[in-house]
Structure 1
Amino acid sequence: MSAIAVLPEHLTALNVTQARSIVMDESMMYHIPAKKVACQAYSDEDGAWPIGDPFTIASPADFGPEPVPVAAVKCSVQQHVVRHQADNSVYPMPSNDKYKGISLHITTSPQGQNPPTVSPSPVELTKLTDLNGVHASAISLDEGVHPNVRLEDVQCQAFWDKDGRSPMGVAFTLEKGVVFGKNPVKVGSVLCWT
C-alpha cells in the first residue's frame, strides 16, 4: 500500500505502476471535507484515459481482482465528476455554488518597516494558488474582500513550493495571520478553505 498526496484540481502523476484499488485517506485532505471530493484515476500521466468510475471517500475505486496500470489521479472539490457516455471521457460538472474567494494581504517588506509594503492577492477557496515565489515576511486575510465567504470560517496554508507539497508552518486564520520572520522569505503557493 502506498500513500500519495493529491492536490485538488491538479492531475497528479503516481509512482505506482499497478493497483487493484484506490482509497481516500481523510486525514490527508488539508481540512477539505472529504464528502466534497471526487477523484478519477487514469492509465496515462496526461489524464486522457480514465480507468473505472469516479471515486469518493464513500465509494473507493475498485479495479477488480487483478492489478491494472494507474499512472495519474485528478480530484475535484465541490464538483461532481461525470462520465460522458458517448466517448467515455470524464468531465467535472460545475457545482451550483457561486464563486467563493478571498484576498490575502502579503507583506513584502521586512517586519517593523513603517509603513509596511503590502500587496493584495486574490485566492479562490479550495484551489491551490501559485504565488510565483513572492518574498513575504507575513500573510493575513484581507477583511474587505471576500465574496460569498464568512472570513471567520476560513483557514489558509502557505507552502514553500508551487505544488503545495511542503507546508510552511501551520494554517493561519482571520484572527491570526502568519509571520515568517523579520526578513521576507520566498513563498511558493497558498491553499485556503472553509
Structure 2
Amino acid sequence: MPTPVETTATVTPPAESDDASEASAGSSVQPEAGQPSAVPAAAEALGKAQLRGEHVTVSLNSILGGLAVALVTAMFSVLMWQINSLGNRVDANGVRIEALATELRTEMRAEIGSLRTEMQTEIGSLRTEMQTEIGSLRTEMRAEIGSLRAEMQAGFREINATLLDHTDRLARLEAAAGLPRIIEAPESPGGVGE
C-alpha cells in the first residue's frame, strides 16, 4: 500500500533590497525533491508577497463584512423557508377548512332534510288525529243534538198534551158554569214548538 505524499515548502528570508524580482528569485518556495508542487497559486503568491517584505493584511472589517453577509443571507434563507412553510401550512389549513365546511354543509343539509321529513310525518300524523277527533266530536255532537231534539220534542208534546188537557178542563168548567166560551184554541196536530 503506497504512503500518502506530504508536501512541504521551505521559505528563505529575503535580503534587504529594493528589487522585487531579485527578492523573488532569491527566495522561492520549493517542494521536496522528487515530489510535485501541491501549493496553490494563491498561497504561493501570498508567500512571495511575504518574502518581499510586503505585509499582507486582511482587514477585520472585510472578514466581519463577509460574515455579516453570510449571516444575513442565511437568515434571509431561513426567513424565506419559514414564510414558504407558513404559506404551505396556511394553504393546507385552508384546504382542510374548506373540506370541513363542505362536510358540515352536507351534514347540516342531511339533518335539515331529516328534520323536515320527521316534521312532515308528525304534521301528517297530527292532521290525521285531528280529523279523526273532529269526526268523532261531530258524531258525538250529532248524537247529542238528536237526543236533545228528541227530549225537547217529547217535552213539547207533554206540554201540548198538558195545555190541551187544561184547555179541555177549562172548557168543561165554563160549560158547567154556563159561561160563554171566550177563547177558542185551535187544535194543532203537532202542538206548540213544532
For Structure 1 versus Structure 2, the TM-score category normalised by the shorter chain is under 0.3
Alignment TM-score, normalising by the size of structure 1: 0.17
TM-score by length of 2: 0.17
The structure with the greater share of residues assigned to strand is 1
